[in-house]
Amino acid sequence: MKPIDSNNRIDVLDYLRGFALLGIILVNILPLLAVKLPNAGSWDAGYQRFLFLFVEGRFYTLFSFLFGVGFYLFISRANAKGKNGFVLFLRRIAALFILGWFHVKFQPGEALTVYAVTGLLLLPFYKVKKEINLGIGLILLVWLSIMAFKLFLVVPLMLLGIAAGQYRIFEGLSKKLKKVAVFTGVMFLLSLAGLIYQYRHVPSIPFGFFEGGVDEQTYEFLSIGITIGPAISALYVGLLILFLQFPLVQKLLSPLKSYGRMALTNYIFQTVFIYLAGYAFNLFESISYLQSLIICLLVYVIQLIFSVVWLRYFQFGPLEWIWRGLTYLEIPPMRKRTKVFSKI
């Protein structure tokens, strides 16, 4: 296996992280603001169906997988620089757990503490052969998906992320486009079949998923969504990779790359902005599903602009800078170095 480059950043991973964040807030906002149950036959009811067909269970799976990829790359690059990657990673997830512990007090469905604990449990798998990690990850993913154990899906998803890092899936993608296209085609067929099956089980009336228990029909609908979620997430990954091969698309989506580079900051501040809007305008238990979408779009605009502007002058996002400092036990340089060109 070729050594991991200790410096080069893999841009496509930042695009994917940013893309995952766009979907996560759409679902997280619902319980945080206690969004009202839609009326049957309304536009809000249609948007609720859209969310639970194309968003819920699709983006957290992608985020979990990407955490596994980052897990492997972080340790490998630290080792390549002559540092103890395992020790640094332990500090890294300890700092992540602390941030998540504070965050979970405001966002009960937050994922950082889960990622930290799962990362600790999966640390020994860094040295396991890639074929074994891939096999175990796939078997666990299929089993847990069929059983609709949403929370536990983080384990195989992160393990598959580690395997993806070992296989160097995201490096030199321009030479792997045929394989990516075939993979995307297969995921499209699986996703299409799954979505058609799930749609046939759509509840006859809107459901209050975040208001307590659900009836048997709704439970089946949601369970099917969890089962097919990884395939749809994989489809999204394949499509985004293929679209990013076009320079125009790269340029149009370039803010998404900055958004993903500051994934930790933007993830936590999504919660901050939702609560600020909720308290400032008394939105709790008073807004509809479509109104929640409007709030999310406003958060997108604010965070995307902020991410682009911030990274013009600084090397890391605010929370990424703190996270890095806690990992390395030193204060990292924040501002970007300006290049001085001497006249000849």
Q: What is the DSSP secondary-structure string of 109-167? A: T--HHHHHHHHHHHGGGGGS-HHHHHHHHHHHHHHHHHTT-TGGGHHHHHHHHHHHHHH
Nearest to 155 by CA among 130, 138, 167: 138
Tell me the percentage of the chain whose pLDDT exceeds 70: 94
CA distance 194 to 129: 32
> What was the pLDDT predicted at 4?
41
> What was the pLDDT predicted at 208?
79
Asked, for residue 3, whether it belongs to a domain, the answer is no
Asked, for residue 215, whether it belongs to a domain, the answer is yes
Q: Which helix (H) or strand (E) holds 190?
A: helix 177-199
Which pLDDT band holds residue 1 (cuts at 50, 70, 90)? very low
Computed over every residue of the chain, the mean pLDDT equals 93
CA distance 126 to 138: 16
Asked, for residue 337, whether it belongs to a domain, the answer is no
pLDDT digits (tens, 9 = 90+) for 120-175: 999 999 999 999 999 999 999 999 999 999 989 999 999 999 999 999 999 999 89
Asked, for residue 245, whether it belongs to a domain, the answer is yes
Tally of domains within the chain: 1
- Is the pLDDT at 342 greater than 60? The verdict is no
Extract the tokens encoding 136: 């175990």
Question: Domain span at residue 150?
Answer: 11-328
Q: What's the pTM value of the predicted model, to 2 decimals?
A: 0.93
Task: Specify which residues 314 forms β-bridges with.
Answer: 335
Which pLDDT band holds residue 216 (cuts at 50, 70, 90)? confident
Give Cα separations from 293 to 28, 287, 288, 297, 320 (angstroms).
Answer: 11, 10, 9, 6, 27
Q: How many C-beta neighbours within 10 Å does residue 240 have?
A: 19
Asked, for residue 102, whether it belongs to a domain, the answer is yes
Residues 6+ positions from 339 with CB-CB distance below 8 Å: none
Q: What is the DSSP letter of 335?
A: B
Q: What is the DSSP letter of 316?
A: S
- Higher pLDDT pick, 43 / 209: 43
Asked, for residue 253, whether it belongs to a domain, the answer is yes
Radius of gyration of the chain (CA): 21
Asked, for residue 223, whether it belongs to a domain, the answer is yes
The torsion angles phi and psi of 275, rounded to 5 degrees, stand at: -70, -40
- Is the pLDDT at 7 greater than 60? The verdict is no
- Is the pLDDT at 344 greater than 90? The verdict is no
Asked, for residue 334, whether it belongs to a domain, the answer is no
What single letter denotes the amino acid at residue 294?
A: I
Length of the chain equals 344
pLDDT digits (tens, 9 = 90+) for 301-314: 999 999 999 999 99
> What was the pLDDT predicted at 204?
87
Q: What is the DSSP letter of 101?
A: H
CA distance 53 to 70: 28
Q: What is the DSSP letter of 209?
A: G
